[in-house]
Amino acid sequence: MSDAVTVEHRAEESRFVALVQEGADPAEAGVAEYELDGETMTLTHTVVDPAFGGRGVGSVLAQAAFGHAREAGLSVVPQCSFMAGYVRKHPELADLVRG
């Protein structure tokens, strides 16, 4: 991937937003939405703008979401298919998964 992907955690919106710098302003390349219930974060929806497909945006979003959960002491329910698949490919995250 040639463009750097950064992630903003927008807690007030219950989402992680992937930004790709393309020119002067960063473009929103994807989002991972979640619901927080006590100490459980349910990852409900992940979407990557098709213009940024194949550039690792979804993986960067997943890394940010699971990293946040680990740092905050949260368990995770990967409800959306992308996040569930990410966990299957990354067994080191199994200790975070509830259920």
- 8-state DSSP, 97: B
Question: DSSP alpha helices (H): ranges in 1-99?
Answer: 57-72, 81-89
pLDDT at 82: 97
Structural domains present in the chain: 5-94 (3.40.630.30)
Q: Which two tokens stand for residue 34?
A: 């979640």
Amino acid letter for position 98: R
Token match 């995770």: residue? Answer: 76
Rounded to two decimals, the pTM is: 0.92
> What does DSSP say about strands 5-10 and 15-21: parallel, antiparallel, or unpaired?
antiparallel
- Per-residue pLDDT of 70-85, as tens digits, reads 999 999 999 999 999 9
- Statement: residue 68 has pLDDT above 90: yes
